[in-house]
Copies of this chain bind each other. A is one copy, B any other.
Amino acid sequence: MRINICQNNYDTLAIEGNKDKIKQALLQSENNVLNIFGEFSLSGSPLYNKNLYNDIYTRVNAAGDELCMTQKSFIIGTPSKITAQQDGVPGEGEVKEEFYYNSLVFVDRGEVKALATKRNLGRFDDNYSVGNGIEVVEFEGKRIAFGFYEDIFNFAQRKTEVSCVILVSNVLFDKDYADDIEKDLSSYAKRLNAPVVFVSRTGAEGNFVYQGGSFFMNRNGEVIRKLDEFEEQQVLIDTDSYNEGKVLSDNEYEKRIFLACVTGIRDYWRKSRIKKAVIGLSGGIDSAVVAPLGVAALGKENVIGVLMPSEFSSLHSVDDALQSAGNLGIEHYTIHIQGIFEATKQALAPLLSPQDTNSYDNKELSAVTNTDTTEENLQARARCMIVMAFGNRKGAAMLNTSNKSESAVGYGTLYGDDSGALGPVGDLYKEDVYKLARWINKAVREGKLKEYFDYDGEYLIPLSSIEKAPSAELKPNQKDSDTLPEYEVLDKIIKDHIENHLSPEELIKKGYNEKDVKRILHLYGINEWKRRQEAPALRLSKTCFATDFKINY
């Protein structure tokens, strides 16, 4: 059986555009080929509440009819709406309820033959009802199973014999589990004794990045054809040719993160119809990494850097920021915030007078430190005001530079440096930000990133931004480690808590310092309210604060 794996980047609700993309592939397809388009390929995704709109179904049905007229065979993804009835109270009529399903439609030579509805709904399957799972149909004289990847566990329990299993899923990129589906399905292919075709989408929507990397796996669980990650691609395979040449994933950790970030920024800006990005450059590691990501995604002519030194900024920091802007070749400005800071303190005289500082008792809502938080936050907020003014005037959206470690413990100012349209490294721990910085510099030196950067030197990201001790520079000689444990410890404790679900007791038992555990988890708890309003982090893991990992606050 011949199957055409179509791994595309679809736009949410751009039903006509998605249909055209699908139709083009069908028109080029031979008659006995089954073309597989992914989850929500016709409607785009995520749809959120838009699946409740009648007009979506009108448009999806019209597009589907047009696709059927090609007389080709295919599987497409779309929401579907089904009305269920039951007997009511005698005399009061029957009860009708509308149910929505995340569905796949199987079309054989232009005829709709079957519908598979998703059973194991995920975190982003808003408004959908539990469906029936994987369906078995005939195609070209053979029995095939088709449905959602998430439903394979239930299907495997039925022990149905089929000659091929076709699974689709819009798998979101996860930096730490990017090969898990391959491993998982390898075990199922063997158990079911059938080859498996897995089809995902690519591109990004909002803060979601889709990995792509669709594949064909033989009944021994070996991937023998794998599509590129983060790229649109179509590949025709023959499930009967038992090629034994096992293909390995290109699973370089930092490279995948780099491509995911570039895809995420590029599609967020493109799909919002914004060309330019503006970023505050402090000379610190975070902005030094986000700036090149922005340049790689949008081009150097579309990124604007703003330096905003204060009396607490070291000369070194300003140099590093200028170096970074220079290496990238971006437009940049220096705006001094001292005047704003002074004017604000003057206006706030009734509040900031010394006799009033006793009333300071905000343990819960302040950042990490106490005495100077008011003034520290003022500086960060003045900077936000400036970057947003550039955004307004230049038609640019702000790139946020927060990382996940800071976000976890609230080491940042809400409506200050926590701001921005999208945080490309907001789902990366500090240690991952450093790894990414080093990888980018190395890759540039090796000439691997020529399509993104026009730079011949040794350190695209200034070495000093990578090597100096992290500091918010909001008071004299401040270091992050004055008020936080070292990031090495912080990252590990937070990770074990939110990814491995270790309780405080379990963390201490594992060997972490009790004081560190208590302090970090206390900060983590009281800063949830800030995380709810931070710039959405680009989702690079299943514990992204913006969309996945919440606690009560």
Contact = CB atoms under 8 A, between A and B. Distances in A.
Interface in A309-363: 333, 335-337, 339-340, 342-344, 346-348, 350-352, 356-357, 359-363
B421 A415 contact: no
Contacts of A543: 49
Contact of A350 (B55, B272, B335, B337): B335
A61 B349 CA distance: 55
Interface string A397-423: 100000000000000001100010100
Contact of A12 (B346, B506, B552): B552
B348 A389 contact: yes
B377 A50 contact: no
B395 A365 contact: yes
B347 A337 contact: yes
A389 B377 contact: yes
A390 B365 CA distance: 12
Contacts of A548: 49
A3 to B, nearest CB: 24
A11 to B, nearest CB: 9
Contact of A503 (B53, B356, B361, B377): B53
A205 interface: yes
Contacts of A386: 344, 347-348
A153 B50 CA distance: 25
Interface stretch (A447-455, A468-476, A531-539): A531-539
A366 interface: yes
A479 interface: no
A187 B95 contact: yes
Contact of A272 (B87, B206, B553): B553
A17 interface: no
Interface string A514-527: 00000000000010
A552 B340 contact: no
Nearest to A382: B385
A86 B154 CA distance: 10
Contact of A356 (B274, B343, B364, B393): B393
Given A333-B350, A395-B362, A551 B388 contact: no
A381 interface: yes
A248 interface: no
Interface string A12-28: 11000000000000000
Nearest to A357: B393
Nearest to A190: B89
Contacts of A415: 381, 384-385, 388, 415, 419
A113 interface: no
B340 A393 contact: no
A526 B397 CA distance: 13
A97 interface: yes
A492 interface: no
A549 interface: yes
Contact of A351 (B92, B359, B390): B390
Contacts of A205: 552
Interface in A44-74: 44, 46-50, 52-55
Nearest to A342: B343
Contacts of A360: 392-395
Contacts of A12: 552
A510 interface: no
Interface string A73-95: 00000000000001111001001
Contact of A347 (B273, B274, B339, B384): B339
Given A339-B347, A360-B395, A393-B357, A206 B501 contact: no
Nearest to A269: B364
Interface string A481-493: 0000000000000
A156 B86 contact: yes
Contacts of A97: 153
A157 interface: yes
A503 B54 contact: yes
A126 interface: yes
Nearest to A272: B364
30 contacts: A46-B552, A48-B552, A49-B551, A86-B156, A92-B187, A120-B130, A123-B127, A205-B552, A206-B553, A274-B364, A337-B347, A340-B340, A340-B347, A343-B343, A343-B344, A347-B386, A351-B390, A360-B394, A362-B392, A362-B394, A365-B391, A377-B388, A378-B385, A378-B389, A381-B385, A385-B415, A414-B419, A415-B419, A532-B536, A533-B535
- 6 nearest A-B pairs in the assembled complex, by CB-CB distance: A362-B395, A55-B503, A343-B343, A48-B550, A374-B392, A12-B552
